[in-house]
Amino acid sequence: MEYFIQQLVNGITLGSIYGLIAIGYTMVYGIIGMINFAHGDIFMIGAFVALISFIIFGLTGVALPIILLLVLLIAMLFTACYGWTVEKLAYKPLRGSFRLAPLISALGMSIVLQNYVQVSQGARVKPMQPLFSGGLEFFKNSEFIVTVSYLQIFIVVLTIILMGIFTYLITKTDLGRAQRACEQDRTMTALLGINVDRTISITFIIGSSLASVAGMMFVLYYGVIDFYIGFLAGIKAFTAAVLGGIGSLPGAMLGGLLIGLIETFWAGYVSLEYKDVAAFSVLIVVLIFFPTGFLGKPDIEKV
Partner 1 sequence: MGKQDIIKSLKDSLFTGLIALALFGPIVGLRTVSKGEGLFITPQWGVVFLLVGLCILGRFLININSARRTEFKIFSTLSSKFSSITEDKAKHFAITGILFAVVFPFLPFTDRYFMDVAIMILTYIMLGWGLNIVVGLAGLLDLGYVAFYAVGAYSYALIATTFGWSFWICLPLAGVFAAFFGILLGFPVLRLRGDYLAIVTLGFGEIIRIILINWYEVTNGPDGITGIPRPSFFGLPFKRSPDEGETSFHLFFNLEYSTMHRIIFLYYLILVLALITNYFTLKIRKLPVGRAWEALREDEIACKSLGVNPTNTKLTAFAIGAMFGGFAGSFFATRQAFISPESFTFIESAIIVAIVVLGGMGSQTGVVLASIFLIGITEMFRDLEQFRMIAFGGAMVLIMVFKPKGILANRKPTILMHGDKK
Residues 82-111 that bind partner 1 (CB under 8 A): 82, 84-85, 89-90, 93-94, 97-105, 107-111
Binding track over 154-193 against partner 1, x by CB under 8 A: ----------------------------------------
List the interface residues with partner 1, window 231-250 (CB under 8 A).
231, 235, 238-239, 242, 246
Q: Output phi, psi for 138, to 5 deg.
A: -120, 165
Cα–Cα distance between 97 and 86 in angstroms, integer? 17
Report which DSSP code applies to 95: T
* Binding piece for partner 1, criterion CB under 8 A, among 6-14, 49-57, 153-161, 181-189: 49-57
Q: Which is nearer to partner 1, 105 or 152 (CB)?
A: 105
CB of 225 to partner 1, least distance (A): 10
Helix (H) or strand (E) holding 125, with range, is none
Among 82, 29, 23, 89, residue whose Cα is nearest residue 237: 23
- Which one of 63, 288, 298, 300 is in contact with partner 1 (CB under 8 A)? 288
Residue 198 as a binder of partner 1 (CB under 8 A): the answer is no
Considering only residues 1, 63, 284, 300, which one is a binding residue for partner 1 as defined by CB under 8 A?
A: 284
Q: Which stretch binds partner 1 (CB under 8 A): 48-56, 134-142, 161-169, 187-195?
A: 48-56
Q: How far apart are CA 261 and CA 210, in angstroms?
A: 20
Q: Is 8 in the site for partner 1 (CB under 8 A)?
A: no
User: How big is the CA angle at 19 (ends 229 and 81), to the nearest 5 degrees?
Assistant: 65
Q: Burial level of 81, CB count in 10 A (0-12/13-18/19+)?
A: middle
Q: How far is the CB of 181 from partner 1 (least distance, A)?
A: 22
Give me the DSSP letters along 251-303.
HHHHHHHHHHHHHHHIIIII-STTHHHHHHHHHHHHHHHSTT-SSPPP-----
Stretch that binds partner 1, among 9-17, 114-122, 133-141, 166-174 (CB under 8 A): 114-122
User: In angstroms, what is the C-alpha Rg of the chain?
Assistant: 19
Helix axis angle, 275-289 relative to 229-244, nearest 10°? 30
Shortest distance, CB of residue 153 to partner 1, whole angstroms? 26
298 binds partner 1 (CB under 8 A): no
Minimum distance, C-beta of residue 29 to partner 1, in the bound complex (Å)? 8
String marking each residue 128-157 x if it binds partner 1 according to CB under 8 A: xx----------------------------
Element (H, E) at 162: helix 150-172
